[in-house]
Structure 1
Amino acid sequence: MITARDDRRRTFETLPAGAEAGTWWGRAWVAALEQRAQDPARLARGRAYAVEGHVDAVTVTPGRIVAYVRGSRPRPYRTELTLGAFTDSEWAEVLEAVAADPAALGALLEREVPQSLAETILPGAGELVARCSCPDTTRPPCKHAAALCYRAARLLDEDPFVVLLLRGRGERELLEELTRRNAAHAAREQPDTAPDFPGVPARAAVARTVLPPLPAPLTAPAAVGVPPACPAERGAPDPLALDQLATDAAARALALLTTGADPTGDLTLWQDAVRLASAHPTAGLTGGARALYRDLARATGRTTTDLARAAAAWRQGGLPALTVLDEPWDPPAGPFDRARPALLAAGQGSFRPDRNRLTARTRQLRLSREGLWYAYESRPDDEDWWPTGTPSPDPVTVLPR
């Protein structure tokens, strides 16, 4: 179990190339230091240091970002930038503001800084304080601190949770607290009315010698509900894992109620792991979803890339689509004899057959045993095929226009 202390220390061994920040919050970070700088030449030299890779691994903890920066001498200098961390009361205001604003919560989950919180969480002019072990202490910041600032801005571009860690809270604990607060807001917005269940009074039912027929069962709900938020307690199960289990159990129960069949009853361990992972797209995952992918891959003896590819296939078409991904087979000649001329006539080019697959450069079609065509894509000169689109019995309509 990851503790709050573990969550409040992050080390980044490598950073994106380049010195210029690409997001508005990354540029605001740089401006907080540049606006108080007294020597533009030092800033220019620090930017060059950042581009040339003079900044080593960066460690971020509440209120502090530290790295060793290599200058003109053999021994690197210890350089740090400090930013005041929030008090508990200040954090309470920030978290409540995010939980109450769906747009702010959505932006944060998409790894963007919410515009409504920009003035609160981003540093203002003079808030970033630079320190360095180099002998140049006359007119801060020195070029080493400037280099760290530019590289940290690129880091913030990729992961704005870094600035929230500097303000005192780690990503995992923030997401757990936001989950609890968001659930509380949703509960307050729901009407507090008791359901009107059909039935008879207990006294009347017991007094009769012949009981009346049971009331008709309630109509099955249209969708699965949201499980309650679970608190994070030391030694207790992971609340995000409990949320995942409760959601999956509810979905299976709804399927049993409406169809009478368990959708997971005949799945293998790998197939069930793919089904669970398919509920969480790989782009913009939260910390809990990333942990789910890692744990499922480890339990099935596969890599996270294998699991991500299989989950994409499952989202493409469920178990049949996963079978198409994993199992090549030898179909009869008829479907290929019809598909290849149709693709050529539609201007899609010439496709090369191989077992149940038709391939043309970066595009591929795979035929399932049920007679459906599934589209795949790859980068040029790379046999790394990924599912895309939705299946169809017509190979022409499967390919993107």
Structure 2
Amino acid sequence: MATPHRDGEHRRTFPAFAPRGERAEDGTFAGTWWGNAWVQALERGALDAKRVARGRGYADQGHVDAITVTPGSVLAYVRGSRPRPYRVQVRVRPLADAEWERFLDTAVDRPGHIAALLDKELPHSLADCGVPLLPGPGDLAPRCSCPDSGHPCKHAAALCYQTARLLDADPFVLLLLRGRGERELLDALSRRSAARAARDGRDREPSSLPGIRATEALAPRTRPPLPPPAPAPAHPEQPPAYPAAPGGPDPFALDQLATDAAARAHVLLGTGRDPVGELSLWQDAVRLAAARPGSGLTVTTRALYATLAEATDRTPGDLARAVAAWRQGGVEGLAVLEEPWDPPAGRFDRARPLLLAADLPAFRPWRNRLTHPLGQVQLRLGRDGLWYVYESEPGEEDWWPRGTPDLDPVGALTGLGAPDGT
């Protein structure tokens, strides 16, 4: 039966598949959506799920020999429990001429359809054109020389599973099963595309191109000044709603990026300056996270924090702390969090007497930081001259930004409930 030398436009013979290794984690057999649609037609039309499961095992073990595909038929020998293999055939209905016409019309409607077929892909829009390319439950008609009267028997089920692997590799196998060979289809699509292009060309009236003398076109002239630019809108517009799609981008992240891009464009249009053009990748990630309302890692912001942290090689906890610093003081607040520095004499030296005068204990100095002796509160002087307050649990070095920066160190501590010196 397997005679590759007899193959032609309407007959293709494929060598036997090797035994499969581990199964896919999601339980699917085929690797493409159309291959799995073929498997679903088998499994949903079967009268005995146990026979189908044994057939899948036969396919996994490589019991199906070479497969011959012709219009309306898949044929192979399948090795079972007896020494002599069984002759198995699975039939499907070839498409009628009117159905092929509808398929060809749909295929040439979009250039991407033909390109996808040449890349061995079957677009959903082409398979759903009203022509039954893929079988449904009950559309597969198996025959086997074994004595089992099941529908299907395990040998026919094994052939159907291996046929799904053929469809994975080349959707033209499916089209051959429905009655047309690959070269025949490509020639028909080429002729139809050429005819449609010629018809469209005839339908379009040639546009008249007014002429002008070269001496007139090249003569020097004074051009009028450009009109003044249109006024910038009062505020950036809201982006459209992005629907969630399986396998598509996260609509929450799209909304975040679109809203941010609109705000940046609005500032650039009004001032000619990009407010974040000189930020580093980490600073921009912190800015994006800080723009989201709320605080901490809530359910709605967890995915955003995880994505931004991974992109910057940080942890979500690092990002949450940096967001708190950004909300406290922007770029300068983030620098105060991450960059200790040695301030010159003056403001920093005057801070400790001011704190003592306010009945606060002697804070311990280190670089630009003053730490309460109990280790719960810390003041950090920024390069902008403001004092930033940080808090930590006693005995821990886990400092988090708190409150509002202030020129006065005592004023920065107001309202925080800093411990006294007793």
Normalised to the residue count of structure 1, the TM-score between the two structures is 0.46
Q: Considering only CA atoms, is the larger Rg found in Structure 1 or Structure 2?
A: 2
Greater relative CO, 1 or 2 (CA 8 Å, sep 6+): 1
